[in-house]
């Protein structure tokens, strides 16, 4: 748990970024999630990691707090908050438990956001009340066994038959997949058409032909379920097409920009947890007759962690503010994710170095944080993909 001075510094930095203090609504949301992380998530995080158990009770309690509907409109039972609010919430939740954090992030940023931007009024009326209340969990399915970074190469197919679409294919590495009842997925009418042939759909796990495939055994984020989804002649009502025909790739890329902001907040949250654990350990342990925190090497690592975490936090906030303003934010989202995911991994490494042998045991949360951090450099676009996106936008005449 961060002390008051550290917390005030974070709020002050965000206030400086915004040119004002956080709104009462934002401050309340942040404080609620901070307390929930300290009181509920941190004590349970290691258990969910060891047992590889989905944090159902955490998710239920977050739903009662309104956190499953952060972006959902008020008229559908949501909080009607913005992406800045989502960032504030996700950082605190991920600081407490990254498995719970990614569950919340996917539900809000990868499911609710595209439904909000591209869904029809009828689709929003049908799905948002269930999503906002937590009755239904959401997932986002674009990755396939042979297609991750190459989103235009997807092989899941769709064909129109009367008032239905018929989908065939397999999606892989789907967060929330075995517990989600509402999923946004993508399929192509013809793989040779590449991006022009991709359609987006809102599907439900009760549709004929839908099934959950194998569950993945993972290095980290072990409390979050990650599975394959199999579509075998799956029947989808025509009104469940999201956006227009052939608009799927546009929807996917727009959504992934928001998803990258979400994973950036996860990286910041994990890094902050590493810093918190390191400061606590260094203050409470002696080396050569003095506090470890007074050792120059340790103190310099702590200073580097704190500085880079703050930089990543501000990059993430900037991307969220641009998205809220309806301005281009693809470059900023990629910068935020790249910076945050790299400091998450570097902070975890430095935390282990300062903890020494004490950090290697399963009883120490730093060991879990070290494993959890790695995925932030991979999903929602690898660090290499982020660099390609950033370079494309800064080159003259590109982006």
Residues of the chain with CATH 1.20.140.10: 256-394
How far from each other are the two terminal CA atoms of the chain, in whole angstroms? 41
CA distance 158 to 236: 10
pLDDT given for residue 15 in this prediction:
54
CA distance 201 to 237: 9
Determine whether 284 is exposed, middle or buried from the number of CB atoms within 10 Å of its CB (0-12, 13-18, 19+): exposed
Residues of the chain with CATH 2.40.110.10: 139-248
Element (H, E) at 250: helix 248-284
- CB 203, CB 170: distance < 8 Å: no
> Nearest to residue 87, comparing CAs of 220, 236, 251, 265?
265
CA distance 109 to 73: 14
CA distance 195 to 250: 8
Two structure tokens written together for 347 = 């902070």
> Nearest to residue 371, comparing CAs of 104, 174, 98?
98
pLDDT given for residue 357 in this prediction:
82
**CATH architecture classification, 4-137:** Orthogonal Bundle (1.10)
pLDDT given for residue 1 in this prediction:
40
- Which residues contact residue 55 at a Cβ distance below 8 angstroms, ignoring those fewer than 6 apart? 44, 48, 97, 99, 100, 103, 223
DSSP 182: E
CATH of 139-248, one of 2.40.110.10, 3.30.1330.80, 3.30.470.20, 3.30.300.30: 2.40.110.10
Vertex 364 angle, CA 271 and 307, to 5°: 20
pLDDT given for residue 7 in this prediction:
42
Provide the total of helices (H) and of strands (E) in the chain, helices listed first.
13, 10
CA distance 311 to 84: 16
- 91 part of the active site: no
- Which residues contact residue 342 at a Cβ distance below 8 angstroms, ignoring those fewer than 6 apart? 267, 377, 383
pLDDT given for residue 4 in this prediction:
41
Which one is catalytic: 92, 144, 377, 380?
380
DSSP 211: E
Two structure tokens written together for 210 = 């839908």
Residue-wise DSSP of 316-360: HHHHHHHHHTT---HHHHHHHHHHHHHHHHHHHHHHHHHHGGGGS
In a 13 Å sphere around the CA of 327, the CA atoms on its Cβ side amount to 9
Residues of the chain with pLDDT under 70: 1-21, 397-399
- pTM reported for the whole predicted model: 0.93
Residues of the chain with CATH 1.10.540.10: 4-137
| CATH level 3 topology of 256-394 | Butyryl-CoA Dehydrogenase, subunit A; domain 3 (1.20.140)
């Amino acid at each position: 748990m961060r002390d008051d001075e550290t917390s005030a510094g974070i709020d002050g930095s965000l206030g400086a970024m915004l040119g004002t203090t956080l709104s009462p609504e934002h401050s309340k949301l942040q404080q609620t999630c901070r307390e929930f992380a300290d009181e509920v998530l941190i004590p349970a995080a290691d258990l969910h990691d060891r047992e590889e158990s989905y944090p159902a009770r955490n998710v239920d309690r977050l739903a009662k707090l309104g956190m499953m509907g952060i972006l959902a409109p008020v008229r559908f039972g949501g909080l009607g908050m913005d992406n800045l609010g989502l960032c504030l919430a996700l950082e605190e939740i991920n600081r407490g438990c990254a498995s719970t954090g990614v569950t919340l992030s996917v539900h809000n940023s990868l499911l609710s956001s595209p439904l909000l931007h591209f869904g029809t009024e009828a689709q929003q009326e049908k799905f948002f009340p269930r999503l906002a209340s937590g009755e239904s969990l959401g997932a986002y399915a674009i990755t396939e066994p042979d297609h991750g970074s190459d989103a235009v190469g997807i092989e899941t197919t769709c064909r129109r038959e009367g008032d239905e679409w018929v989908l065939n294919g397999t999606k892989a590495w789907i967060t929330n997949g075995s517990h989600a009842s509402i999923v946004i997925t993508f399929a192509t009418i013809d793989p040779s058409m590449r991006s022009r042939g991709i359609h987006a759909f809102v599907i439900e796990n009760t549709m004929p032909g839908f099934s959950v495939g194998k569950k993945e055994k993972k290095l980290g984020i072990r409390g979050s379920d990650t599975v394959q989804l199999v579509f075998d002649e799956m029947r989808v009502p025509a009104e469940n097409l999201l956006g227009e025909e052939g608009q799927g790739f546009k929807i996917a890329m727009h959504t992934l920009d928001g998803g990258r902001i979400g994973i950036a907040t996860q990286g910041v949250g994990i890094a902050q947890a590493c810093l918190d654990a390191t400061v606590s350990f260094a203050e409470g342990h002696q080396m050569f007759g003095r506090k470890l925190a007074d050792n120059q090497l340790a103190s310099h690592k702590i200073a580097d962690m704190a500085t880079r975490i703050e930089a990543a936090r501000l990059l993430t906030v900037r991307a969220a503010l641009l998205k809220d303003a309806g301005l281009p934010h693809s470059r900023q989202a990629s910068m935020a994710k790249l910076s945050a995911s790299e400091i998450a991994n570097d902070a975890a490494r430095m935390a282990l170095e300062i903890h020494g042998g004490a950090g290697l045991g399963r009883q120490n949360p730093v060991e879990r944080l070290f494993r959890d951090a790695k995925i932030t450099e991979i999903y929602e676009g690898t660090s290499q993909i982020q660099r390609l996106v950033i370079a494309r936008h800064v080159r003259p005449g590109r982006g």
